[in-house]
Amino acid sequence: MAQLTLEKVRKAYGDAVVIPEIDLDIRSGEFVCLVGPSGSGKSTLLRMIAGLEGITRGTVRVDGEDMTDVDPSDRDMGMVFQSYALYPHMTVRDNMSFALRMRKEDPKLIEERVAEAVEMLDLKGLEDRKPAALSGGQRQRVAMGRCIVRKPKLFLFDEPLSNLDAKLRTATRHQIRHLHDRLGATSIFVTHDQVEAMTMADRIALLNFGEIMQIGTPQELYLQPQNRFTAGFLGSPEMNFFEGTVSVGEGGFVLNGTASLFLPASAGRLAALREVVGTGRKVEIGVRPEHFDLAAEAGADTMSLPVAGLEWLGHEAFVFGHVDGREIGVRVATDASGASDLPKPGSPVQLRVVEDSWHMFDATSGDNLVVKSGA
Amino acid sequence: MATNSTRRRNALWRIGSLLPASLLLVALSIYPVFNLVGLSLSDVEWIDGRAHSEFIGFANFDQLFRHETVYWAGVRNTIIFAICAVTAQMIFGFSMALAARRASGVTRAVLTAVFLLPIVMPPIVIGAMWRLLLGRDFGAVNTLLGYVGIGPIDFLGNPDIALASVILVDIWHWTPFVFLLMLTGLESLDQEVFEAAKFDVRSPWQELRYVTIPLMVPTILITLGLRLVLSFKVFDEVYLLTGGGPGTSTEVINFSIYRTFFAQDRLGVGSAMSLLTLVAVAVLIVVVNLWIRKRRSKSQEATS
């Protein structure tokens, strides 16, 4: 249990700035995911917290104590690596107890802690095996066990699930989150997989080019993205974007641009955005696939989408098509009867945007004008 | 039917492709060994420019075991030489590899180049250079020692320290070889394991003792075996530095053989010496090989 603070932390390799400046506060007991595309600096940030990577400027504090220049072994953190990095010449037991043995802890205590971790991680019977004789999932659990036995202040995870197959990944996701809660730990989890972040995190910090684009709960990031990057990064299939200028219409806004689109809005949102829109500035409208309704017939408030492809996933289906050269994805509900009532590829469907569920981003700054105006 | 002719063609191809190497092996390795065995059991004399050999059984070996004290001094020296030189080379080479691994960029390039310098020098240059450096009257080392009031020390002429001097030169010559193999070995290890170790160990010593060395065991064993076998073949350094003297203080096996065979023209006894050495080195190779294989299968249990 510990609280971590990053103050104006910067990382540069010579002239190449990886992280310009980051402030981050992680509360005790929190599970925070650092997410971002590759090259966003999320792993570097984690390694700076761990002490594996030097810090160009700024301060790392754990429970208020300055850790910036402290050696990794004295930071009281445990890290799970992407390749697990187990000691190949040691048995599972020796791998787990290594740090404690190096600290000359009481052998009885070591044995207790290891037994506890083995129990918790379901590794019973494997204590005397070497890592080579373990499956990927087992290795991953041993790597976690190596951290757990030390009862560290902070758990650091560097994409620990990316080497597992999809099914195991889902199960391990739950297991890690469960362990975190059970231990009352503070965890930082780096991943490029938004699903991992959404399902595990108390808060997500979304990084791009070494800057935090948004930090908040998964719900905040998904429902109220502060900028176009966040909106586009989270969600699968991706949010649909339409560029253009917006004018006020009857019961909503009208987008005039690559595609004409009617955006139904409540009175509150109409009022809040009216001024923004009036200036005629270029915007991008974002609509998630699930925020389209299928209309029975074409009207003034609908957009026609020629169906090019269909993905049926059982509990839902996605329809894909192109409007003005841009791919649009739309989620449609499925029912028990199967695929019979779904749109057919080749024929158009009529789409209507759900009221107030769209976003408007400034075309240059990328700010979400809806969130900014408080609508 | 087609399979039959295909099989025949495959067999032809197999035999054809193995033939050149087999012939070379027979001509250059197997025949000379048999020839050596024959020579070691004969008394060879040169009469009218032609060799007359006469079968004399084990008389040469009898001579070798009873009377050739110089050869046995050489055996003793060679064993001392191999153990001391190889031990020092392993320790220095490993330390230098650890140092070079930590360095980065230009430092590393310069360090590696400097470390590797001795191994690219021809042995003749090394011999000449060290003779000049270690000379009693005009040697640079003695000049330097003179400044601090020590010496002069007759590095190559004093029977008590001549062997140590030769060992020193061999260490200087062959440490880079160990360094190179060790560095390659270190770099092929999973670097993430060392990052993980940074969290676990309390001191660099612990990292070395519990992580680095255990992971390097396969490389260490192979290098050790290689150096041990190679050091039994030492000749050039001794020939160039001391010529086996003073007395028998730096006599090594190969030097005895060389002298007996070529200088004294005693082909039979020389062959017996060669054969004995050959068998000893062969046994050493087999033992080292078995040992490495055992260790490797043990560590393979661990890693595969």
User: Taking 90 as the threshold, does the pLDDT of residue A158 lie above it?
Assistant: yes
Q: A315-319, B160-164, B261-265: lowest mean pLDDT where?
A: B261-265
Distance between CA atoms of B68 and A59, rounded to whole angstroms? 76
User: Taking 50 as the threshold, does the pLDDT of residue B221 lie above it?
Assistant: yes
B201/A82 CB distance under 8 A? no
Contacts of B215 in chain A (CB under 8 A): 87-89
Evaluate whether residue B62 is within a structural domain. no
B192/A102 CB distance under 8 A? no
Instruction: Say which CATH number the domain at B143 has.
Output: 1.10.3720.10
Residue A161 φ/ψ, nearest 5 degrees: -105, -5
Distance between CA atoms of A353 and A301, rounded to whole angstroms? 8
User: Taking 60 as the threshold, does the pLDDT of residue A282 lie above it?
Assistant: yes
Contacts of B202 in chain A (CB under 8 A): 73, 102-103
Range of the domain at B150: 68-252
Residue A220 CB-density burial (10 A; 0-12 exposed, 13-18 middle, 19+ buried): middle
Predicted confidence band of residue A1 (pLDDT cuts 50, 70, 90)? low
Q: What is the mean pLDDT of chain B?
A: 85
Per residue, the 3-state secondary structure of B120-158, as one string, reads: HCCHHHHHHHHHHHHCCCCCHHHHHHHHCCCCCCCCCCC
Please name the helix (run of DSSP H) or strand (run of DSSP E) that holds residue A362, with its range, or none: strand A359-362
pLDDT computed for residue A337 by the predictor? 63
User: Taking 90 as the threshold, does the pLDDT of residue A201 lie above it?
Assistant: yes
Give the HSE-up count for residue B14: Cα atoms under 13 Å, Cβ half-sphere: 6
How close does chain A come to B68, measured CA to CA in Å? 49
A275 C-beta neighbours (distance < 10 Å), count: 9
Nearest chain A residue to B216, by CA: A89
Contacts of B200 in chain A (CB under 8 A): 73, 98-99, 102, 146
Q: In the sheet where A65-66 sits, what is the strand order?
A: A16-26, A4-13, A57-62, A65-66
How close does chain A come to B101, measured CA to CA in Å? 16
Q: Are strands A31-35 and A16-26 parallel, antiparallel or unpaired?
A: unpaired
R_g over Cα of chain A: 25
Please name the helix (run of DSSP H) or strand (run of DSSP E) that holds residue B285, with its range, or none: helix B267-303
Distance between CA atoms of A154 and A3, rounded to whole angstroms? 8
User: Taking 50 as the threshold, does the pLDDT of residue B303 lie above it?
Assistant: no
Best-predicted range by mean pLDDT among A321-330, B83-92, B135-144?
B83-92
Residue A47 φ/ψ, nearest 5 degrees: -70, -30
B193/A146 CB distance under 8 A? no
Residue A360 φ/ψ, nearest 5 degrees: -125, 120
DSSP secondary structure code for residue B209 in this structure: I
Evaluate whether residue B298 is within a structural domain. no
User: Taking 80 as the threshold, does the pLDDT of residue A341 lie above it?
Assistant: no
pLDDT computed for residue A139 by the predictor? 93
pLDDT computed for residue B299 by the predictor? 59
Pick from A71, A77, A81: CB nearest B195? A81
- Which token pair is B229? 């076998």
Q: What percent of chain B has a predicted confidence (pLDDT) above 70?
A: 96
Q: What is the mean pLDDT of chain A?
A: 89
Pick from B195, B201, B301: CB nearest A52? B195
pLDDT computed for residue A143 by the predictor? 93
Nearest chain B residue to A102, by CA: B201
Query: Per-residue pLDDT tens for B95-124?
Result: 999 988 888 778 888 888 888 888 888 888
For A233-362, which CATH class?
mainly beta
**Average pLDDT of span A337-357:** 81
pLDDT computed for residue A255 by the predictor? 87
Pick from B199, B201, B210: CB nearest A79? B199
User: Taking 70 as the threshold, does the pLDDT of residue A179 lie above it?
Assistant: yes
B214/A89 CB distance under 8 A? yes
Evaluate whether residue B50 is within a structural domain. no
Q: What percent of chain B has a predicted confidence (pLDDT) above 90?
A: 23
Contacts of A82 in chain B (CB under 8 A): 192
At A87, is the secondary structure helix, strand, or coil?
coil
Query: Per-residue pLDDT tens for A289-307?
Result: 999 988 888 888 888 888 9
| Long-range CB contacts (within 8 A, 24+) of A160-169 | A160/A80, A160/A81, A160/A82, A160/A84, A161/A191, A161/A193, A161/A196, A162/A82, A162/A191, A162/A192, A162/A193, A163/A82, A163/A83, A163/A84, A163/A136, A164/A136, A164/A137, A164/A140, A165/A136, A168/A136, A168/A137, A169/A196
Are A188 and A158 a contacting pair, CB within 8 Å?
Answer: no
Pick from A82, A103, A132: CB nearest B303? A132
B303/A79 CB distance under 8 A? no
Q: How many angstroms separate the Cα of A157 from the Cα of each of A49, A63, A79?
A: 11, 20, 6
- Nearby residues of B180 by Cβ (< 8 Å), 6 or more positions away: B116, B119
Are A39 and A228 a contacting pair, CB within 8 Å?
Answer: no
Contacts of A86 in chain B (CB under 8 A): 193, 196
Residue A348 φ/ψ, nearest 5 degrees: -80, 155
CA dihedral A59, A61, A64, A65 (to 10 degrees): -90
B190/A79 CB distance under 8 A? no
R_g over Cα of chain B: 25
CATH of domain A4-232: 3.40.50.300
Which is nearest to A259 in space by CA: A306, A227, A226, A201?
A306
A73/B198 CB distance under 8 A? yes
Best-predicted range by mean pLDDT among A310-319, B56-65, B145-154?
A310-319
Number of domains in chain B: 1
**Average pLDDT of span B208-222:** 91
Are B218 and B295 a contacting pair, CB within 8 Å?
Answer: yes
Name the residue with tokens 């390097």: B216
Distance between CA atoms of A265 and A271, rounded to whole angstroms? 9
pLDDT computed for residue B1 by the predictor? 53
pLDDT computed for residue B304 by the predictor? 40
Determine the Cα angle at B147 with ends B146 and B153, to 5°: 20
pLDDT computed for residue A247 by the predictor? 85
User: Taking 70 as the threshold, does the pLDDT of residue A375 lie above it?
Assistant: no
For chain A, positions 33-92, list CB contacts with chain B under 8 A: 50-52, 71-73, 77-79, 81-83, 85-89
| Burial readout B272-293 (b: 16 or more C-beta within 10 A, e: otherwise) | bbbbbbeeeeeeeeeebeeebe
Query: Per-residue pLDDT tens for A6-23?
Result: 999 999 988 889 999 999
User: Taking 90 as the threshold, does the pLDDT of residue A33 lie above it?
Assistant: yes
pLDDT computed for residue A4 by the predictor? 92
Predicted confidence band of residue A188 (pLDDT cuts 50, 70, 90)? very high
Q: Which residues of B touch A (CB under 8 A)?
A: 190, 192-193, 195-202, 206, 210-211, 214-215, 217, 299, 301-304
Residue B204 CB-density burial (10 A; 0-12 exposed, 13-18 middle, 19+ buried): exposed
Pick from B192, B201, B217: CB nearest A102? B201
Evaluate whether residue B202 is within a structural domain. yes
pLDDT computed for residue B298 by the predictor? 67
Predicted confidence band of residue B19 (pLDDT cuts 50, 70, 90)? very high
Q: What percent of chain A has a predicted confidence (pLDDT) above 90?
A: 52
Which is nearest to B272 in space by CA: B73, B28, B59, B26?
B59
Nearest chain A residue to B209, by CA: A102
Give the HSE-up count for residue B28: Cα atoms under 13 Å, Cβ half-sphere: 6
User: Taking 60 as the threshold, does the pLDDT of residue B33 lie above it?
Assistant: yes
Are B56 and B41 a contacting pair, CB within 8 Å?
Answer: yes
Are A291 and A358 a contacting pair, CB within 8 Å?
Answer: yes
**Average pLDDT of span A365-370:** 88
User: Taking 50 as the threshold, does the pLDDT of residue B300 lie above it?
Assistant: yes
A89/B301 CB distance under 8 A? no
Contacts of A89 in chain B (CB under 8 A): 214-215, 217, 299, 302-303
Sequence ranges of the domains in chain A: 4-232, 233-362
pTM for the complete prediction?
Answer: 0.80
Interface A:B, Cβ pairs < 8 A: 69
B193/A79 CB distance under 8 A? no
A50/B199 CB distance under 8 A? yes
| Secondary structure E strands in A240-347 | 240-249, 252-257, 261-264, 283-287, 292-295, 303-312, 316-323, 326-333
**Average pLDDT of span A323-339:** 79
A102/B299 CB distance under 8 A? no
**Average pLDDT of span A128-150:** 92
A129 C-beta neighbours (distance < 10 Å), count: 16
Name the residue with tokens 């195991």: A168
Distance between CA atoms of A205 and A216, rounded to whole angstroms? 7
Pick from A72, A86, A132: CB nearest B198? A72
Residue B220 CB-density burial (10 A; 0-12 exposed, 13-18 middle, 19+ buried): buried
Which is nearest to A67 in space by CA: A84, A52, A89?
A52
Distance between CA atoms of A139 and A133, rounded to whole angstroms? 9
- Which token pair is B106? 């230009």
How close does chain A come to B219, measured CA to CA in Å? 14
User: Taking 70 as the threshold, does the pLDDT of residue A340 lie above it?
Assistant: no
